[in-house]
């Protein structure tokens, strides 16, 4: 049952990254590339009917984490307390940036909330990439100092950064050069993803510019991915051991690079949805490859005193996990119905939605 709920949790997180990821990317596009009011309206129209529903996947993932892996939930929400509060505020500012902008038609007012929407989207993309970097790198479980645990073995606490900015220090920080690298990968990938969604859902004049932006950024993304794979050996001496022992796992890197190389044709796609498909494949494959590389660990320990947190030593009791399956089936049916209705109602181009106008 632990494996079943782990797959459920990772699937829900992947759906969240793909769906709310295009919202983050659209916000970054809005911040840097939307120069006219018409362009800004096109971007908010593209995500307006979807963004709040997309955020629910994050809440639902937190619920599954609490239910199925309570020890990991307790450990993570205490150790990452500071960045989680920052993420919460960023989510709030992104939301009110979208909702309050159209309340008053004044340039200063609109500019303030445009910046709130764009900057919060940028920082959310960065922080979620940094979060993935922390999971790959691991944390100092038990807060071991000079070979002695100062906390229980599954607890930890991290400051935002440490003085050395190193991912190999005894006292780690949330942000170091490795986690920041993955954060930048997240920003670039989601910017491309957001651009592809806007192209897919609008006929805006900005679309031709966005095709060029996505094409050029894809070179940056390829370089960052290569660098990330190279420096991964600094963090994990045998980063591909799971793939060597289980060759079928190579399907995930293949999906990742299929999406990545497919994006180089973004300027020639006749069907606007293809770019979004390839960026979704990259995000899905990248996330799946990352978690597959550390499986069954869910939070590695950087010391030899306390063991890694795995899906087996952080899971709830077998009985509770079994009973939860019945409720999960009901929830899946309800969510499927909702999403089918939502995407049918808002299918096609969104240029005339007029989201946020009052």
Where does the pLDDT of residue 354 fall: very low under 50, low under 70, confident under 90, or very high at 90 and above?
low
Mean pLDDT of 135-139: 88
pLDDT of the residue at 171: 81
Please tell me the total count of domains within the chain.
1
Where does the pLDDT of residue 355 fall: very low under 50, low under 70, confident under 90, or very high at 90 and above?
low
Q: What's the full length of the chain, in residues? A: 358
7 contacts: CB under 8 Å, gap ≥ 6:
none
In a domain, 106, yes or no: yes
Mean pLDDT of 111-131: 91
Look at residue 358 and tell me whether its pLDDT is greater than 60: no
Mean pLDDT of 120-129: 93
Predicted TM-score (pTM) of the model is 0.91
pLDDT tens-place string over residues 283-311:
999 999 999 988 888 988 888 888 888 88
Could you please report the per-residue DSSP string of 334-350?
A: HHHHHHHHHHHHT-S--
CA distance 102 to 116: 13
In a domain, 154, yes or no: yes
In a domain, 240, yes or no: no
Average pLDDT, the chain: 87
Mean pLDDT of 37-51: 84
Could you please report the per-residue DSSP string of 80-141?
A: THHHHHHHHHHHHHHHHHHHHGGGS--HHHHHHHHHHHHHHHHHHHHHHHHHHHHHHH-B-T
pLDDT of the residue at 356: 60
In a domain, 108, yes or no: yes
In a domain, 134, yes or no: yes
Look at residue 194 and tell me whether its pLDDT is greater than 90: yes
pLDDT tens-place string over residues 11-39:
999 999 999 899 999 999 988 888 888 88
% residues pLDDT > 70 (the chain): 98
Look at residue 1 and tell me whether its pLDDT is greater than 90: no
CA distance 125 to 187: 5
Look at residue 197 and tell me whether its pLDDT is greater than 80: yes
Q: Where are the alpha helices (DSSP H) in 202-263?
A: 207-235, 241-245, 251-262
pLDDT of the residue at 146: 73
In a domain, 160, yes or no: yes
In a domain, 242, yes or no: no
pLDDT tens-place string over residues 202-233:
888 888 888 999 999 999 999 999 999 888 88
Kindly report each contact of residues 227-231 with a partner whose C-beta sits within 8 Å and lies 24 or more positions away, as own/partner.
227/181, 228/181, 228/182, 228/185, 231/178, 231/181
In a domain, 233, yes or no: no
pLDDT tens-place string over residues 338-353:
888 888 888 877 767 6
For residue 39, what are the domain limits? 2-202+296-345
């Amino acid at each position: 049952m632990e494996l079943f709920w782990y797959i459920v949790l990772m699937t829900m997180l992947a759906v969240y990254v793909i769906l709310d990821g295009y919202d983050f990317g659209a916000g970054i596009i809005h911040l840097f590339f939307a120069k006219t009011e018409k362009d800004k309206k096109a971007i908010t129209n593209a995500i307006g009917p979807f963004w709040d529903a997309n955020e629910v996947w994050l809440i639902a993932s937190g619920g599954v984490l609490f239910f199925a892996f309570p020890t990991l939930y307790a450990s993570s929400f205490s150790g990452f307390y500071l960045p989680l509060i920052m993420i919460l505020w960023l989510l709030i500012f992104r939301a009110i940036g979208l909702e309050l902008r159209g309340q008053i038609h004044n340039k200063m007012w609109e500019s303030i909330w445009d910046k709130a929407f764009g900057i919060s989207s940028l920082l959310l993309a960065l922080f979620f990439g940094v979060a993935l970097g922390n999971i790959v790198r691991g944390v100092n479980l038990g807060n071991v100092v000079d070979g002695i645990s100062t906390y229980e073995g599954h607890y930890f606490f991290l400051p935002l950064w440490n003085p050395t900015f190193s991912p190999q220090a005894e006292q780690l920080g949330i942000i170091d050069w490795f986690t920041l690298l993955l954060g930048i990968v997240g920003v670039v990938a989601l910017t491309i993803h957001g651009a592809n969604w806007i192209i897919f859902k609008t006929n805006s004049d900005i679309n031709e510019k966005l095709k060029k932006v996505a094409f050029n950024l894809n070179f940056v993304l390829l370089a960052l991915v290569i660098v990330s794979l190279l420096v991964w050996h600094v963090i994990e001496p045998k980063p591909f051991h799971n793939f060597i022992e289980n060759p079928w796992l190579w399907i995930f890197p293949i999906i990742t690079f299929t999406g990545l190389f497919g994006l180089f044709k973004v300027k020639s796609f006749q069907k606007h949805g293809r770019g979004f498909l390839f960026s979704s494949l990259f995000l899905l494959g990248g996330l799946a490859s990352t978690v597959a590389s550390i499986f069954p660990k869910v939070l590695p320990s950087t010391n030899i005193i306390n063991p890694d947190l795995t899906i087996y030593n952080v899971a709830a009791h077998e009985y509770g996990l079994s009973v939860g399956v019945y409720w999960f089936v009901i929830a899946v049916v309800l969510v499927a119905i909702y999403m089918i209705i939502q995407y049918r109602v808002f299918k096609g181009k969104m240029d005339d939605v007029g989201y946020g106008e009052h």
